[in-house]
A and B are shown apart, each in its own frame.
Chain A
Amino acid sequence: MNIIGPDLLIFGVDDVEACKQFALDYGLTQASEHRFVALDGTGIDIYSKDDSCLPAPLETGSSIRKTIYGVADTATVDAIYDELSKDREVKRLDDGSIEAVDDMGFVLGFQVTMRKPLDMPAEKINAPGAPAQRPANETGVSKDFTPEPRTLSHVVYFVPDYKKAEAFYAERLGFITTDRFSHVGPFMRPAGTTDHHTLFFLNTPPHMKGIEHFTFHMSGPTTVVQAGNRMVEKGYQSFWGPGRHIFGSNWFWYFKSPFGCNMEFDADMDLHDDNWDAREALPGADNSQVFLLQYREKWAPMGPPPPKG
């Protein structure tokens, strides 16, 4: 199945205006009343939790109402329709997409991807011994900074049975497990991307079922930290980070959000193909990150000691 990755996450939230402002401050662009997008057109839809156009919520009331995957072509949409129709209802919607519910109860959509191809450089670094990525006189950073999330990267769900979740995505949709935390859950990528993960599960009691966080890819580590720093300066509160994960190697910075889940910035994720054997590690702090930093207000060591009062 040539599924490329998540195109759109649809939320039903408690405070629509707060979520919209948060999305803008995060760096997404408002494309329509409800839609906020990254540079490639992938994004999120923000609705009131009471909006009747939304699919029904999970019994836990989690704010995630639908995850729409982008696929390569209509043949893939049709193949998914045929596969899922074997044991469940699959709706064909007016926009040409299809909708079904996964084995945990999450509502999924599949559409010919709406993402536009991006053609832009990654954050560039120079290192002794390597060809210069930034030639002479090209500077690396600036205080002037606008965060530009590039594409919707991944979504993480709390699920009551990760084995059942993993089996559904592997067997029915062709996702591949790249790595796993023992007794917690797998990192998975669909067959149409080499990204380390677009999906991760955390095994938790049934009353927690729902979204844990979602993330967009930034251009590199500096923009993750610069974007996060800007969020803190705007009064938003860090949850975890900045740091660098081990599985996936991606830089991260998670923020609490009015979406009822964390929203992350990430960058520089590993790519994998079918020649990769999934690793397994015990969950916990030591295996979750190579390092973890913490925010401090801008400061500089300067000058002599202050005059005595």
Chain B
Amino acid sequence: MNQGVLLCKLDDLPDNSSRGFLPDAQGQDTVFIVRRGSKLYGYSDVCPHYGDTALPWKKDVYLDAGGDYIVCAAHGALFTPDTGECVKGPCRGDFLTPLKITVTAEQDVVLLCESRGKEQ
């Protein structure tokens, strides 16, 4: 069994929405999820441009106005939601760090801890 962190209920994530979780001491979220249909994509909330700053300009706003791309608001980098690849902006070609997310039979959205910090 994986140890996990309960993030929310699946119903808390409407289709094509994004949401941040697990705020740090400054109140900025450290992970986020984008929902596309039945798929959930989870990433560390760290932009590869400097590798040390979070993406959104406002809590939970990780997508562009059309809902097509994940945006880093600092310098407008765009990432594809399904792969996390930066397709435009400073860190073009780099990837967001993906996280393992699972939905339990009880519809709990859980972050699997083994996926955190796996780069180390």
> A: which residues have CB within 8 A of B?
14-15, 18, 22, 61-63, 158, 204, 207-208, 210, 212, 232, 235-240, 255-258, 260-262, 294-297
User: 14 A-B residue contacts at CB 8 Å?
Assistant: A14-B66, A62-B76, A208-B75, A208-B90, A235-B58, A236-B58, A237-B57, A237-B59, A237-B73, A256-B55, A257-B73, A258-B73, A261-B75, A262-B75
Q: Say whether B26 contacts A256, CB under 8 Å.
A: no
> B: which residues have CB within 8 A of A?
25-28, 53-59, 61, 64-66, 71-76, 88-90, 92
Chain B residues, CB < 8 A from A296: 25-26
Closest chain-B Cβ to A155's Cβ sits at a distance in Å of 14
A18 to B27 alpha-carbon distance, docked (Å):
21
Task: Please tell me which one of the listed residues A204, A238, A261, A295 contacts residue B76 in the complex, with CB atoms under 8 A apart.
Answer: A261
Chain B residues, CB < 8 A from A261: 74-76
Chain A residues, CB < 8 A from B72: 256
Say whether, besides A212-B75, A238-B26, A261-B76, A15 and B64 are in contact (CB < 8 Å).
yes
Chain A residues, CB < 8 A from B27: 232, 295, 297
Chain B residues, CB < 8 A from A204: 90
The 5 closest A-B pairs by CB, nearest first: A260-B76, A256-B73, A15-B65, A256-B57, A14-B65
Task: Please tell me which one of the listed residues B56, B75, B89 contacts residue A237 in the complex, with CB atoms under 8 A apart.
Answer: B56
A296 to B75 alpha-carbon distance, docked (Å):
25
Closest chain-B Cβ to A201's Cβ sits at a distance in Å of 15
Task: Please tell me which one of the listed residues B53, B65, B89 contacts residue A18 in the complex, with CB atoms under 8 A apart.
Answer: B65
Q: Say whether B28 contacts A61, CB under 8 Å.
A: no
A61 to B90 alpha-carbon distance, docked (Å):
12
Chain A residues, CB < 8 A from B53: 239-240
A22 to B57 alpha-carbon distance, docked (Å):
10
A297 to B25 alpha-carbon distance, docked (Å):
9
Q: Say whether B25 contacts A257, CB under 8 Å.
A: no
For A240, the closest partner residue in chain B by CB is B53
A107 to B54 alpha-carbon distance, docked (Å):
30
Task: Please tell me which one of the listed residues B25, B61, B75 contacts residue A260 in the complex, with CB atoms under 8 A apart.
Answer: B75
Closest chain-B Cβ to A228's Cβ sits at a distance in Å of 12
A238 to B74 alpha-carbon distance, docked (Å):
10
A262 to B55 alpha-carbon distance, docked (Å):
12
Q: Say whether B76 contacts A207, CB under 8 Å.
A: no
Q: Say whether B88 contacts A61, CB under 8 Å.
A: yes
Chain A residues, CB < 8 A from B71: 14
Chain A residues, CB < 8 A from B64: 14-15
Closest chain-B Cβ to A220's Cβ sits at a distance in Å of 24
A238 to B28 alpha-carbon distance, docked (Å):
9
Task: Please tell me which one of the listed residues A61, A207, A240, A257 contacts residue B57 in the complex, with CB atoms under 8 A apart.
Answer: A257
Q: Say whether B74 contacts A239, CB under 8 Å.
A: yes
Which among B65, B72, B76 has the highest number of chain A CB atoms within 10 Å? B76
Chain B residues, CB < 8 A from A15: 64-65
For A294, the closest partner residue in chain B by CB is B26
For B89, the closest partner residue in chain A by CB is A208
Closest chain-A Cβ to B71's Cβ sits at a distance in Å of 8
A297 to B27 alpha-carbon distance, docked (Å):
8
Chain B residues, CB < 8 A from A295: 26-27
Q: Say whether A237 contacts B90, CB under 8 Å.
A: no
Q: Say whether A237 contacts B65, CB under 8 Å.
A: no
Closest chain-B Cβ to A239's Cβ sits at a distance in Å of 5
Closest chain-B Cβ to A110's Cβ sits at a distance in Å of 27
A297 to B28 alpha-carbon distance, docked (Å):
12
Closest chain-A Cβ to B21's Cβ sits at a distance in Å of 15
Chain A residues, CB < 8 A from B89: 208
A244 to B73 alpha-carbon distance, docked (Å):
23
A208 to B72 alpha-carbon distance, docked (Å):
14
Q: Say whether B76 contacts A237, CB under 8 Å.
A: no
Say whether, besides A232-B27, A295-B26, A255 and B57 are in contact (CB < 8 Å).
yes
